[in-house]
Amino acid sequence: MARMNIQGAPVLDLTADIVELTTAIVDIESVSGNEKQLADAVEAALRGQAPHLEVIRDGDTVIARTHRGLPQRVVLAGHLDTVPLAGNLPSTRRFREGREELVGRGTCDMKGGVAVMLKLAAEADDAPMDLTWIFYDHEEVAAADNSLTRIAAEHPEYLVGDFAILGEPTSAGVEGGCKGTMKLDVTARGIAAHSGRDWVGDNAIHHLAPVLERLASYRARRAVIDGLEYREGLNAVAISGGIAGNVIPDRARVTLNYRFAPDTSIAQAEAHVREVLSGLDLEIEVTDAGAGALPGLDTAPARQFLAALGGEVPVAAKQGWTDVSRFSALGTPAVNFGPGDPLLAHTDDEHVPLPDLHQALEGLRRFLTREGS
């Protein structure tokens, strides 16, 4: 558990061992919308233990940065929120398959990455580049609620840099760019009737059958960009319709999620879905969308980062969507790098191997200190 001050607020010790610091951060519950206590602790730790940083509070986002006039600026960002709990807080430790793990909500996604960044924010006071650290809220909800959406609109200068690193879980490897994502509601209309006289109605649910058939036979594209393979996917993720067991439904809806390669724009993605469903009498509405991000591994700071990590670190495409997209939209190449297996994010058994924490810390430390220059 995190230490408490005399007012009973959690205190984070940025000089603590990385496992202890991660544990303290994980044990401050911060489900989306409830990030204030953790943001308070992060702000207090940076103001009290990193005097070389300018610290800015924007809602429940904490920004810290240097102003040394160096020719390069690197932005490092991590979100403070988690998905809802599943009886997995406070955190626990276990030894399994020859390694020790920290278990609990947020250990993987992405408080391990936040801990690594916080510790280095205090340490890297003589980095060979200017640094901006961003610890932000509301990532695990709709894009409109993500604090980076607001900051990009109101203070885009906070996000500007030559290179950005997002601390999403990558098992301490590097995942370049990210896929775009789009959610769409596909609605079929019919005519309501008593189910005993179905011939006077028109069953809207039945009109969704061709949609499901097309999705089931859909063959997703695999796009290779800068040597990284992004696998697309178009899937039904929810379906609804009907009001009672004796009523022919006059409306039915299937929700689709399209994950598309970063060489595809949002407009192109929507056009593709409409093409897949062309010829069907349906209403199609885009309810949420986020652009992808190209790998960004061919820039000088990206090459320096990879060199600091060493040739053994795996490099792959990010198969999900992450906030590297926001940096890419501002012209800042960005990658994902953090401890924890991304396949464990949001699971009831969410955990992070302790070696991942140490590996991510040491790799990023080499890049941000004179060891990596």
Average of per-residue pLDDT across 179-185:
97
Annotation marks residue 54 as catalytic: no
* Tens of pLDDT, residues 20-69: 999 999 999 999 999 999 999 999 999 999 999 999 999 999 999 999 99
b or e along 86-112 (b: 16 or more beta carbons within 10 Å of the residue's beta carbon)?
Answer: eebbebeeeeeeeeebbbbbbbbbbbb
* pLDDT tens digit sequence for 114-162: 999 999 999 999 999 999 999 999 999 988 899 999 999 999 999 999 9
In this predicted structure, the answer to whether residue 2 has a pLDDT above a threshold of 70 is no
Instruction: Give per-residue pLDDT as tens, 212-252.
Output: 999 999 999 999 999 999 999 999 999 999 999 999 999 99
User: 64 forms bridges with which residues in the sheet?
Assistant: 55, 133
Q: Look at 299 and 317; give whichever has higher pLDDT.
A: 317
Q: How high is the pLDDT of residue 373? A: 39
Structure tokens at 304: 């320096």
270 a catalytic residue: no
Distance CA 231, CA 367 (A): 30
How many angstroms separate the CA atoms of 56 and 343, rounded? 33
Per-residue model confidence (pLDDT) at position 341: 96
Tokens, residue 14: 């940025």
Give which of 119, 141, 157, 103 is closest to 42, Cα–Cα.
119
Tell me how far apart the alpha carbons of residues 87 and 300 are, in angstroms, rounded to a whole number. 44
Cα–Cα nearest to 354, from 340, 336, 364: 340
Do 331 and 177 meet the contact criterion of CB atoms below 8 Å apart?
no
Place of tokens 């199609």: 284
Query: Which SS3 state, helix, strand or coil, does residue 269 take?
Result: helix
The phi and psi torsions of 45 (rounded to 5 degrees) equal -65, -45
Q: Which of 27, 43, 81, 232 is catalytic?
A: 81
Instruction: Give the H or E element holding residue 47.
Output: helix 36-49
Q: What is the pLDDT of residues 259-281, one digit of tens each?
A: 999 999 999 999 999 999 999 99
Residue 257 has pLDDT above 90, yes or no: yes
Residue 273 has which token pair? 């879905």
Give 3-state DSSP helix, strand, coil % of the chain, rounded to 5.
30, 30, 40
Distance CA 20, CA 33 (A): 25
- How confident is the model at residue 372, as a pLDDT? 40
Cβ atoms 287, 185 nearer than 8 A: yes
Rg of the Cα atoms in the chain: 23
Residue 370 has a pLDDT of 59
Closest by CA to 177, choosing from 329, 63, 51, is 329
Nearest Cα neighbor of 124 from 116, 135, 113 is 116
Catalytic residue (choose from 60, 139, 140, 250):
139
CA distances to 62, 102, 104, 165 from 305, rounded to whole Å, are 24, 27, 30, 10
Give yes or no for residue 6 having a pLDDT over 60: no
CB neighbourhood size of 353 (10 A) = 23
Whole-angstrom Cα distance, residue 115 to residue 75? 16
Q: Are 285 and 229 in contact (CB under 8 A)?
A: no
Name the pLDDT band for 258 (thresholds 50, 70, 90).
Answer: very high
**Predicted TM-score of the model (pTM):** 0.88
Residue 119 contacts by C-beta under 8 Å, 6 or more apart in sequence? 14, 18, 21, 361
Between CA 55 and CA 19 the distance in angstroms is 25
Please state, for a pLDDT cut of 90, what percent of the chain lies above it: 89
Letter for the amino acid at 46?
L
